[in-house]
Amino acid sequence: MRIFLFILFLNFHSCFGYFYRPSSNEKIDNFNFSNVKRTYLVHYPKKWDGLPIPMLVALHGRFGTGVTMSKQTKLNDIADQKGFIVLYPDGYKRSWADGRGNSPADEDGINDVLFIESIVKRMVAEGSVNSKEVFLVGHSNGGFMAQRMAIEKPELWKGVMSVAAQISVSQLKSKIHFKTKPVSVAIMAGTEDPLVPYSGGYVKDGKEVLSVSDSILRWKEWNGCEDTVKRKSNQVEENGFKINIEFYRYEDCSNNKKVELIQLNGLGHSWPGETPMLPFINQGRTTKVVNGSAMVWEFMESLK
């Protein structure tokens, strides 16, 4: 019965994406990539003069879509307030080839690094995006993909953040094949994530990942950061449970880059602030009072 409900849920959201009608300041576009039709949703801010502006690429998690990512995160609301574009690509068979080797995209040899790079270049070419202000965020499988993009294509991004994902062992091994170029990176993670362990080890799909702390130290090393760290914390209460959010930011890095850890004590795998899109999978404690999307853009805005 549980499997049936899960399949029904996926089919519902597939239809939801298929019948989604973009607003007047949105578009759904596609192009043929490696003989596969790849699609993406673009949200332009409501008050926009048509000149090149910043863009945030947002990668959904496993089983998600660009449309569900937009509904899950409500990044569009922040984009309208702050004046940036949000682009939501659709993964191949609801997945990204993040390099761990176990997703449908990885198994079928999809080059999602080139696909995402191609989307960015298309948006810059159309004249709507400032190429020096392109940002990337991903959740879960999309978060691992964001880590891969930061490692393999650091020159594309002004800032990259992973939510509920860190560096995988396979990504760490691949790093020696790519030139080290500083790029600002942040990781937002719940300490009680039941799917991607905060302390590292094996995730539910059997692939090994570094701990969140070790991942931050790797980026600190790759970005040539000093040991000086700025710390702050914020505590909120929800239904009698105290959520302590700790921020650790390294700002003294090469080329004015930054590395930040946003540690969500007691929280799980879900995007902070929104209803989980996979209610039949235990993702740990969720929250409605922590605005993950606002913290994503706060980091991006802090970058020089």
Nearest to 186 by CA among 302, 69, 62, 64: 302
**pLDDT for residue 218 is more than 70:** yes
Q: Any idea which fold 13-301 has? A: Rossmann fold (3.40.50)
**pLDDT for residue 230 is more than 50:** yes
- Choose the weakest-confidence range: 172-176, 180-184, 272-276: 272-276
Element (H, E) at 146: helix 141-152
CA gap 124, 132 in Å, rounded: 10
Q: What is the pTM of this model?
A: 0.93
Residues 73 and 293 sit within 8 Å (Cβ to Cβ): yes
How is residue 48 written in tokens? 């926009």
Which single residue is written with the structure tokens 């863009």? 55
CA gap 41, 54 in Å, rounded: 16
CA gap 256, 54 in Å, rounded: 19
**Residue ranges of the domains in the chain?**
13-301
- Going by pLDDT thresholds of 50, 70 and 90, the confidence category of residue 42 is very high
Question: What would the pLDDT profile of 137-170 be if each residue is shown by its tens digit?
Answer: 999 999 999 999 999 999 999 999 999 999 999 9
List the beta bridge partners of residue 134. Answer: 55
Summary mean pLDDT of the chain? 92
How is residue 268 written in tokens? 């799980």
Average pLDDT over residues 66-95: 97
Going along the chain, which residue ranges are E strands?
26-33, 36-43, 53-59, 85-89, 129-139, 159-163, 184-190, 201-202, 208-209, 230-238, 241-250, 259-265
Average pLDDT over residues 237-262: 96
Average pLDDT over residues 211-228: 98
What is the side-by-side strand order in the sheet with 159-163? 26-33, 36-43, 85-89, 53-59, 129-139, 159-163, 184-190, 259-265, 241-250, 230-238
